[in-house]
Structure 1
């Protein structure tokens, strides 16, 4: 299983579990759980697509009513969160790595709405839950494979943004490579985007 697959399964499980908990507790049997998702990327992006797939599956099964917004800029994210909360959605799903304080303020203002957000920090009772991509261990193992296979002792790495979550994975990868090849060196570049295939290809 590669890193993206492992991360995808964790996100799929988080979204499905949140929907299941809401569907089984506190909602009227005749009513579907209203779920909204806010994505800063297109739903085709691998990280986002796993959550989107899980919620679409729940929607097709009749468990929830699902709506979403994609390509939402961080500067507009708080407004979209508030709009969905005002519309009476039971659960709002997304990722708030770039606006942690603002997202928690929204959750505090709408205590009757549940929030499940990708986040660098912890949950806040009673309604703000978080998930993260804790995949540094497989990143370490992937680094071991790369370190043992390189013929030039030079490994290129391309990341989206230099945030703690990405840095954690990159450092784990580099530690794994160095564990089997102390002479290996790295070229690291960030493209300042989570989804820009042409720019990522050019950087690589």
Structure 2
């Protein structure tokens, strides 16, 4: 575990730990006491179980650095923190006077919520598959609900596949992964209603060789379009000259002839809302997942880049129409956390 100031360069590499732990209730609590002076930078600390270069965590780190650069916060972080050390590091930051602690507690829900109970004047904003607990009013949760962007990239994928056979390789079948895969599949059906899907999970958040071998098997079974939820999938697609769709971050620069488009996550709206609430003295237990929705600016579809002009015009027209409707609130992408199945 390393404690660092926020000046790391971002290179996407790995993924966070597998979901374990206990659930919680789903109602907001009461606000934190007090109001921070507007001119005071908020002391923010983050505790990450993986390197900040990892794709999911990199989005949180990027948003925190942006807020730091604006002058609104002071920001330090610990990366590669083991689950056994996580509670200790959280407590050290709380004792050091940090007013907002960020992180991802998918593998240690109980421990993290216990720390929050012990420091009621500190705000905690934590990645979690569970909900907020009204008994812990200073503990808010979030997750990357980017199903809107995933759905739109599916429309593009359906228009670009020739075999109508889509390969999908994920880490674990947990809600965070499942909802993005299901939304992508729904998008594919818009432009390729007869498409079939191969679905596999590799049992790891970061095992590119295993993801690559799994993708090879799906390509050998007829897939000409891959959903690259894991690193390693796009490498297989590139080697076998098939196409891929990216997830969370933009990877087309590394695979210019392979990655058609990506569903991007933007953590800035989530963090900015938390900072505003903290400054106003109104931070409370809440589900911040809604700030990952497209209408909140929490996700987007990447530019087509090298694939500009290569996607059928009708598909791009549908993407534009649905994106406008999503932002206007007249079209809702279903949030389906059930494990996706091959079909």
Q: Of the candidates 90, 106, 112, which is equivalent to residue 121 of structure 2?
A: 112
Change (3 A) 1:26 1:169: same
* TM-fit CA distance, 1:193: 3.6
Q: Structure 2 regions of 5+ residues with no counterpart?
A: 1-31, 215-232, 234-343
* TM-fit CA distance, 1:75: 3.9
Change (3 A) 1:139 1:28: closer
Structure with the bigger percentage of helix: 1
How many Å separate the matches in 2 of 1:56 and 1:187? 38
Secondary structure of 2:53's partner? coil
Greater radius of gyration (CA): 2
Q: Which 10-residue stretch deviates more, 30-39 or 108-117?
A: 30-39
| Contact kept? 1:41, 1:195, Cα under 8 Å | no
Q: Does 1:41 align with 2:25?
A: no
How many Å separate the matches in 1 of 2:70 and 2:147? 34
Structure 1's consecutive aligned runs of 4 or more residues displaced over 6 angstroms after TM superposition are: none
Matched residue, 2:162:
151
| Contact kept? 1:94, 1:116, Cα under 8 Å | yes
Change (3 A) 1:80 1:184: same
Q: Does 1:191 align with 2:202?
A: yes
How many Å separate the matches in 1 of 2:192 and 2:65? 44
* TM-fit CA distance, 1:161: 2.2
Q: Does 1:167 align with 2:175?
A: no
C-alpha RMSD of the superposition: 2.6
Secondary structure of 1:187's partner? strand
How many Å separate the matches in 2 of 1:58 and 1:137? 25
How many Å separate the matches in 2 of 1:150 and 1:143? 11
* TM-fit CA distance, 1:198: 4.5
Q: Does 1:78 align with 2:87?
A: yes
TM-score (normalised: structure 2): 0.47
How many Å separate the matches in 2 of 1:33 and 1:158? 40
How many Å separate the matches in 2 of 1:168 and 1:54? 23
Change (3 A) 1:175 1:112: same
Q: Does 1:94 align with 2:97?
A: no
Secondary structure of 2:67's partner? helix
| Contact kept? 1:45, 1:195, Cα under 8 Å | no
After superposition, give the CA deviation of every residue in 1:26-76 in whole Å (9 maximum; x if it has no partner): 335775422110112211123222221222233344433221111223343
How many Å separate the matches in 2 of 1:61 and 1:177? 40
TM-score (normalised: structure 1): 0.75
Secondary structure of 1:79's partner? helix
Change (3 A) 1:41 1:195: farther
Q: Structure 1 regions of 5+ residues with no counterpart?
A: 1-21
Matched residue, 2:188:
177
Q: Does 1:137 align with 2:157?
A: no
